Amino acid sequence: MRKRDRAVLVVASLEASFSDWYISFMGRRRKSPQEKKQLEYAKDHFTFGWNSSRLFPRAWSRKKAHVNRQFRHKSEELLGKAKPGIANDDVELIADDWTAEHFKQSVSRKRLYKHGTVTQGEKIKRKLEERKEGIGRTVRQRRWYDREASSAMNTLDSLKGKQLIEVVRLANLLCCGNAKERKRVVLPGNPAGRAIRFAWLVSSGSASHVNALRRDPELSKAWDIWRAKAQEILERDEQREERRRQQKEHAKESKRANSRRIAKT
């Protein structure tokens, strides 16, 4: 056969194969963008984990590499006896012990699990539900803090006499006391206990509670008045403690002076 005839046959075979491929390719129905998106929602997966979606693939590849490395090292340890260079007599002794079942039981590959894996469609569904639930969340939170501030200030304004002094001392202990003293404080579950907790949070600088007072000028003014009362009570307590301390020091000094006078006589 001449070279020219061979070339013609090669070209004819190539044309036939190309025509078959073209017919099969064009015979497929092209998917619409909506169909492609539905396939993506069903086939693609997403893992809700402690790490971000970008960091997860790298962490997963490191886990797989670690498991494969462990399996390879165990296999090398068990098969190290049968490596090239072993004597014929030793081969016969090892062959009886090493069977496929024995090797399978001796070496096992640790299985990895992906926790919280969902399809892309399920992920989008969850995100939309979270977004829907988040609508108006800030408004609801502000209303709740406003109600708490109003209730606490009404309770603080209604306190009188010894009850007011006790509440002020407890609030001061929570704000200025050390950790051991704060642990000993047990707030009651009544409105007074909730009011003490509110005063402690405001004095500690809780942004949510402070902003609740700032949004209502009347509550802010009532808080300033109550804080001034509390400051007067605490100042009286400090003065009382200072007088007691001075009296103790004076008593000790008088006792020392009497002792020296008796010693001289």
pLDDT of 247 above 80: yes
pLDDT of 196 above 50: yes
Distance separating alpha carbons of residues 143 and 191, to the nearest angstrom: 19
pLDDT bin (cut points 50, 70, 90) of residue 91 is very low
Model confidence pLDDT, tens digit, residues 213-228: 999 999 999 999 998 9
More confident residue, 153 or 103: 153
pLDDT of 15 above 70: no
Say how many residues make up the chain: 265
Q: Work out the mean pLDDT of the chain and round it to a whole number.
A: 78
Model confidence pLDDT, tens digit, residues 118-154: 888 888 998 899 888 888 888 999 999 999 999 999 9
Q: Say what the pLDDT of residue 83 is.
A: 52
pLDDT of 8 above 60: no
Q: Say what the pLDDT of residue 143 is.
A: 92
Instruction: Pull the structure tokens for residue 15.
Output: 């044309």
What's phi and psi for 119, nearest 5 deg? -75, 165
pLDDT bin (cut points 50, 70, 90) of residue 10 is low
Whether the predicted model's global pTM rises above the 0.85 cut = no
More confident residue, 180 or 146: 146
Model confidence pLDDT, tens digit, residues 31-75: 888 988 988 888 887 777 666 667 777 888 898 999 999 888 887
Largest CA distance in the chain: 150
Distance separating alpha carbons of residues 189 and 224, to the nearest angstrom: 25
- The CB density around residue 258, as the number of other CB atoms within 10 Å, is 10
pLDDT bin (cut points 50, 70, 90) of residue 4 is low
Amino acid present at 7: A
What is residue 119's three-state secondary structure? strand
Distance separating alpha carbons of residues 231 and 228, to the nearest angstrom: 5
Instruction: Name every residue whose Cβ is closer than 8 Å to that of residue 174 and which is 6 or more positions away in sequence.
Output: 182, 185, 196, 200
81: which DSSP letter?
Answer: G
Q: How would you class 119 by CB atoms within 10 Å of its CB: exposed for 0-12, middle for 13-18, buried for 19 or more?
A: middle
pLDDT of 251 above 50: yes
Which segment of 19-33, 37-51, 70-84, 187-201 scores lowest on mean pLDDT? Answer: 19-33
Distance separating alpha carbons of residues 133 and 123, to the nearest angstrom: 15
